[in-house]
Amino acid sequence: MPSPRDIRLVSAAVGAAVLLGVPSAVGQSLYDRQDRVNEKIAGLQDAINEAKHKEGVLSSEIAAASAEIDSLEGDIAVLGDRIAVLESELAAHRARLEELRNLFAEQTEDLNHLKRQYRLAQRQLEERLIGLYQEGDDAGAFGVLLRVQSLGELLDQLEYFDDVGRQDRAISLEIRRLRNEMHVARERTRETKAKVAEATAVLADKTAETIAARDALVARQEELAAARAQQESLLAGVREERHEAQEDVGALEAASATLAAQIKEAEAAAAAEAAAEAAAAEEAAEQAAAQEAQEAQEAQEAAEQSAGGQQSSSGGGSAPTTTSAPSSGFTWPASGVVTSGFGYRWGRLHAGLDISAPYGTGVVAAASGTVIYAGVMGGYGNIVVISHGNGISTAYAHLSAIHVGGGSVSQGQGIGAVGCTGSCTGNHLHFEVRVNGSPVDPMGYL
C-alpha cells in the first residue's frame, strides 16, 4: 500500500504535468501562428508605406514632367513663329538673289555683245580709213582727187569723206560708252549679288539653327511625354499593389484578432484546468493528510494501550507561505537601458520594450504567474511567456538561455539570460505585456 508521502508526490506530479503540458502546447501553437501573422502584417505595412512613398515620388515626377512639357510647348510655339518669319525672309532673299543672278547673266550677255559691236565698229573704221588712204588709186583718196573735174566737186568729195569718218567715229565712241556703262552696271550687280548671297547664307544658317533648336525641344518634349506615360503606368501599378496590400492587411488584422481571442480562450481554459487540477491535488493531499492523521492516532492509541494507559501528545508544523506580486505593479525584468519603446516605427508596431544589456545578464519574472511557453518562437528566438491571470501575460524574447521549463514562477525569479537569438541586432531583452493576447505598452505596468 502506498504511503501518504507517495500519494502527495504523485498528486503534485500530476498537477505539474497539467501546468507544463496543456498550456505550453496550446500557447506555443497559438503564439507561433500569431507571430507569423504579425510578421506578415508588418511586412505588408512596410510594403504599403513604401508604395505610398513611391506614389509621392512618381506623382512629383509626373507633375514636374507635365510642367516642363507645358513650358516646352510655349517655347516650341515661339520658335515656330520665328521659323515662319525667317523662312519667309529667306524665301524673299532667295528670290532676290535669283533675280540678281538672272540680271547679272543678262548684263554679262549684253556686255559681251557690246564688246563684239565695239570691236566690229573699230575694225570697220580702221578698214575705211585704210581703204581711203592706203589702198590703190582707184579706191583711194588720191584717185578721187584725180577724177574730180572742178574745185567744187573736190570740196564735195572731201566733205563726204569727212562725214563718213565722223559718223564711224561717233558710232565707235557710242558703243564704247555703252560698253563701259554696261561694265559698271555689271560690276554693281556683281557686288549686290554677293551681298545678297552672303545675307541669304546667314539667314539660311539662322533658319537652320532655329529649326534644329525647335526639333531638339520637340524631341525633349516627346521624351518627357514618354517618361511621363511610363511613370503614370508605374503609378497605377503601385497604387494597385498598395490597394491589394491594404486589403491583405485588413484580412491579416482580422486573423490576428481571431488569434488573440483564441489565446485569451486558451489561457482561460488552461487557467481553469490548472485550477481544477490544483483543487483536485489539494483535495487528494487533504485526504492523504487526514488518512495520515488517522493512522497516527491509531498508532498513538496502540502505544498508549501498550504503555499501560499513559497518554502523551506532541505536535508541530509550519504554515505554508505564498508569494504574490506587489500591488504597485511589475518589476523590471532586467537591468539595462531602454533603447526602443512601444509603438509604431517605419510603419510597423514594435510590440514591447527593448532593454539593452550585456550578454548573459539575468532576466527575472516581472510578476508571479505560470509559464505557458518556454522555447523557440520565430523571430523572437528563445522566449518565455508567463500568464499572470486576468488575461495578462508577459513575454521575454531573444534570450541566450532559458532557466525555466514551465510551472509557477514568483516575481523576481530568474527565468533566463539576455542574448541575441532570433531576429535582432545586438544583445538586448525584448519585453512585452499582452492583455487578452493583444500587446500593450509595458510602461503602464512597470
β-bridge partners, 418: 399
For the cut 90, the answer to whether the pLDDT of residue 365 exceeds it is: yes
**Is 393 within 8 Å of 387 (Cβ atoms)?**
yes
pLDDT: which is higher, 353 or 275: 353
For the cut 80, the answer to whether the pLDDT of residue 242 exceeds it is: no
At residue 371, the pLDDT reads: 93
Task: Give the Cα separation of 20 and 17 in Å (integer).
Answer: 5
For the cut 50, the answer to whether the pLDDT of residue 119 exceeds it is: yes
Radius of gyration of the chain (CA): 61
For the cut 70, the answer to whether the pLDDT of residue 309 exceeds it is: no
At residue 410, the pLDDT reads: 95
Reply yes or no on domain 327-444 having CATH 2.70.70.10.
yes
Measured N-to-C along each axis, helices 151-306 and 4-133 cross at an angle, to the nearest 10 degrees, of 180
Domain boundaries, the chain: 64-236, 327-444
pLDDT: which is higher, 351 or 322: 351
Task: Give the Cα separation of 174 and 169 in Å (integer).
Answer: 9
Rounded to 10 degrees, the C-alpha dihedral 23/24/25/26 comes to: 50
Percentage of the chain exceeding pLDDT 90:
20
Question: What mean pLDDT is predicted for residues 381-390?
Answer: 91
Task: Give the Cα separation of 383 and 401 in Å (integer).
Answer: 9
pLDDT: which is higher, 413 or 111: 413
Burial of 333 (0-12, 13-18, 19+ CB in 10 A): buried
Grid coordinates given for 192: 549686290
At residue 22, the pLDDT reads: 39
**Is 259 within 8 Å of 34 (Cβ atoms)?**
yes
**Is 225 within 8 Å of 403 (Cβ atoms)?**
no
DSSP string, 290-332: HHHHHHHHHHHHHHHHHTTS-----------------TT-PPP
Question: What mean pLDDT is predicted for residues 207-218?
Answer: 90
CATH code assigned to 64-236: 1.10.287
Task: Give the Cα separation of 302 and 300 in Å (integer).
Answer: 5
For the cut 60, the answer to whether the pLDDT of residue 148 exceeds it is: no
At residue 262, the pLDDT reads: 64
At residue 162, the pLDDT reads: 62
Task: Give the Cα separation of 14 and 284 in Å (integer).
Answer: 11
pLDDT in tens, 335-359: 999 988 898 766 677 888 999 999 9
pLDDT: which is higher, 68 or 399: 399
Task: Give the Cα separation of 401 and 361 in Å (integer).
Answer: 10
**Is 20 within 8 Å of 407 (Cβ atoms)?**
yes
**Region of poorest pLDDT, from 306-320, 366-380, 415-429:** 306-320
pLDDT: which is higher, 364 or 67: 364
For the cut 60, the answer to whether the pLDDT of residue 154 exceeds it is: no
**Region of poorest pLDDT, from 170-184, 204-218, 270-284, 404-418:** 270-284
Q: Give the residue carrying C-alpha cell 575705211.
A: 128
At residue 136, the pLDDT reads: 44
Query: Any idea how long the chain is?
Result: 446
For the cut 80, the answer to whether the pLDDT of residue 293 exceeds it is: no
Task: Give the Cα separation of 418 and 383 in Å (integer).
Answer: 11
**Is 383 within 8 Å of 423 (Cβ atoms)?**
no
At residue 306, the pLDDT reads: 65
Q: Give the model's confidence band at 238: pLDDT under 50 very low, under 70 low, under 90 confident, else very high.
A: confident
Q: Give the model's confidence band at 32: pLDDT under 50 very low, under 70 low, under 90 confident, else very high.
A: low
Task: Give the Cα separation of 366 and 328 in Å (integer).
Answer: 12
Q: Which residues contact 443 (CB under 8 A, 6 or more apart)?
A: 341, 342, 353
Task: Give the Cα separation of 129 and 164 in Å (integer).
Answer: 10
